[in-house]
Homo-oligomer: A and B are copies of this chain.
């Protein structure tokens, strides 16, 4: 196990009806800005629950935070914050709303010249407005972690700071019942691949971390498809298990003390940035190719994955691994996800642009061993054709 420091102080309120916990989480004298996306929360009852929870608070709202939240959109919130003296942000939505709200919170108290520097220069953030999150789409883990990704002009740029970790997060699985199949699929596969990025590296004999990761993978494999099937899609227990898995997949715990990869995400970001493909759908295309191209470097963990997750115990080690990759692809397809560039109408002609983007974003040494050069990224994208 590697040395590590770990802390996650976000208070979690999990379960049906927990949105009411917001009332006591946000100080009564705070001026609250409720941030959300395209307005689906007005159709599924969540907005009404928020209105009820904040009925004794002073609050305002800022809507229109889009998937892969845009810098220009988020900067518009600054005027609202200044006008009303906002001192608490309540994000109501999925990972994009949470991520966008983190950037809004950081930009509001940013003391540098230009908030853009937070992203483009990775300038350190000293403080941010406090944030609470009501999660409506389990996927990114953003509700309890320190990470966010913001898009500008086709560039997806991440930042991370302890000061933007939410104070609290409400996880009510009932609010996920109104999600579309596509949103559910994206969320389940996003959480699955977050787990894989922290698991599928090389072994440092972190037995707890490995088994926790495997527990999340197994749960997502079992419960994900049920959330799409007519006979079980309204099952709150299925939704609860998916929701808790997605939070645990990226709250820092399973990645503490073990190497991490994240090459699938970095390559995937370029597919979203250049072609607007849903984040999770880029991951389901890239991960199988990473598994194939990095089969040697990841041999030990791939074999463990084959045996523990897919119960593959016959054939040579390499055969077991090949079968496990195939079963991973089958799982993604069962979740309605693309697994090849051709599934999203991209081909060999697009690879040069993607590599140029990777290069321009400094993605020259990806992976747990920093061994994924641009040349290896080309192999990965080629394997994904």
Contact = CB atoms under 8 A, between A and B. Distances in A.
Interface of A: 1-18, 21, 205-208, 210-212, 214-216, 218-219, 222-223, 237, 240-241, 244-245, 248, 256-257
A215 B211 contact: yes
Contacts of A241: 1, 205-208
B5 A21 contact: yes
A271 B5 CA distance: 38
A156 to B, nearest CB: 29
12 contacts: A1-B237, A2-B15, A4-B13, A4-B14, A5-B11, A5-B13, A6-B14, A7-B10, A9-B9, A12-B256, A14-B256, A207-B218
Nearest to A236: B1
B12 A5 contact: yes
Contacts of A11: 5-7
A218 B4 CA distance: 23
A236 to B, nearest CB: 9
A2 to B, nearest CB: 7
Oligomeric state, in copies? 2
Contacts of A17: 3
Nearest to A10: B7
Contacts of A205: 237, 240-241
A245 to B, nearest CB: 6
Contacts of A211: 211-212, 214-216, 218-219
Contacts of A15: 1-4, 257
Contacts of A9: 7-9
A257 B14 contact: yes
Given A1-B15, A208-B219, 15 more contacts: A2-B15, A3-B15, A3-B16, A3-B17, A4-B13, A5-B13, A5-B21, A6-B11, A8-B9, A12-B256, A14-B256, A205-B240, A205-B241, A206-B244, A207-B222
A244 B3 CA distance: 12
A206 B215 CA distance: 11
Contacts of A240: 1, 205
Contacts of A248: 208
Nearest to A239: B1
Given A13-B5, A207-B241, A208-B241, A215 B216 contact: no
Contacts of A18: 3
A6 B12 contact: yes
Contacts of A1: 14-15, 237, 240-241, 244
Contacts of A216: 208, 211
A208 B244 CA distance: 7
